[in-house]
Amino acid sequence: MTIDKKTLHVALDERSYDIIAAPGVLSDAGRYFLPLLKTKRVVIVTDSNVGPLYLDQLGQSLTDSGITYDVVTLPAGEATKSMAHFEQLLEDILAMGIERGTTLIALGGGVIGDITGFAASTLLRGIDFIQVPTTLLSQVDSSVGGKTGINAKAGKNLIGAFHQPRLVLIDTESLNSLPKRELLAGYAEVVKYGLLGDADFFNWLEENGQKLIDGDQDVRREAILRSCAAKADVVAQDEREGGVRALLNLGHTFGHALEKECGYDGGLLHGEAVAIGMVMAFEYCAAQGLCPQEDVVRVKEHLLSLDMPVDLRALPCEDWTAELLMKHMLKDKKVKDGKVMFVLVRGIGQAYLSRDVEDQALKEYLDDLLV
């Protein structure tokens, strides 16, 4: 993996690709795409919020580079990651008369990236796709790892494939139009990378987080590339998920339990649940004497300084009990032989995996928290 001022090279043998992040690159998209295209024909998939904002700019740059394009616009929102929308998307793209050399372009957040990548993995037994992620969450999370897919009735992201993009093009200016709540939710995943393995990055975020939120393009570029590098580093050790990749779930086991009760319908965003979940992971570890209390304070203070949620008791969902939270945690995907895989911390930047969390210790921590 190499990183320069605006490019991160994700090394995965023949599936290697670049992540480019800088302000204004959307206007140069055609020039970046051209060397990678097998034919000068692409299909752009976007959503009803992002299309009106950025299609003109992307389309103009493609035209300037002699690339022709069609567009499919899907409704914005998580409900689009469904079998019904997926089927319609495949039919719409096939009706355009695509060839094996056609490349799909995902222009939007994680919803568009996931469904478009999955479509690319199955159309004509697999065609290329390029990600142009426009939310902070998709820029720092779905850009790396090659996971694509849709939701099933039985749960989120249960139908999908590993399919690596040919390029990820991130225009940091696209975050200017993102609602602040979505920006902060994505920022929780940025903080996660510092907390799980890079204390220097967390120090840097304490200095620069506010600038990122306020729109400093240089800080955004650096934070995004450092986050992608951190994720790429973990994924490179564990591409198909079996071991260390689980470290990326710091805050997610607690977070998923919160989402089960009050998420998925706009009540609580994934990143908000992760922010609270990371604080809970630190608090639990401090209560067990595994992690210094001063690190818990730093994590909380940083999130609070940016108006991010840190306390489940402030959520608009009543009746939290330790039993309810633990029931949800035991249903987490990462359960094996009835034992939850927890991401614990010895301090900021020092996460590790453990299946040895005792129910009793967890219950005591949650009971104390909920009094």
Q: Work out which of 141, 198, 261, 332 binds ligand NAD, going by CB under 6 A.
A: 141
Shortest distance, CB of residue 6 to ligand NAD, whole angstroms? 19
CB-closest chain residue to ligand NAD: 110
The rounded radius of gyration (Å) of the Cα atoms in the chain is 20
Residues in 256-295 that interact with ligand NAD by CB under 6 A: none
Does 131 contact ligand NAD by CB under 6 A?
no
Q: Is 270 in the active site?
A: yes
| Only segment of 3-11, 141-149, 245-253, 281-289 that touches ligand NAD (CB under 6 A) | 141-149
| Only segment of 77-85, 215-223, 299-307, 344-352 that touches ligand NAD (CB under 6 A) | 77-85
Strand pairing report for 68-74 and 103-108: unpaired
Q: Work out which of 12, 53, 55, 330 binds ligand NAD, going by CB under 6 A.
A: 53
Q: Report residue 330: phi and psi, to 5°.
A: -70, -15
Is there a contact between 72 and 43 (Cβ–Cβ < 8 Å)? yes
Does 178 contact ligand NAD by CB under 6 A?
yes
Secondary structure letter of residue 40 according to DSSP = S
Q: Is 189 in the active site?
A: yes
Which of residues 132 and 366 has its CB atom nearest to ligand NAD in the complex?
A: 132
- The H or E element spanning position 129 is strand 129-133
Does 116 contact ligand NAD by CB under 6 A?
no
Does 182 contact ligand NAD by CB under 6 A?
yes
Does 134 contact ligand NAD by CB under 6 A?
yes
Amino acid letter for position 37: L
Distance CA 310, CA 64 (A): 47
* Long-range contact pairs involving 161-165 (C-beta distance under 8 Å, separation at least 24): 161/117, 161/118, 161/121, 161/122, 162/121, 162/239, 162/240, 163/117, 163/118, 163/120, 163/121, 163/126, 163/129, 164/12, 164/15, 164/17, 165/17, 165/106, 165/117, 165/129, 165/130, 165/131
What is the binding site for ligand NAD (CB under 6 A)? 47, 49-50, 53, 76-78, 81, 108-112, 114, 134-135, 137-138, 141-142, 145, 147, 156-157, 174, 177-178, 182
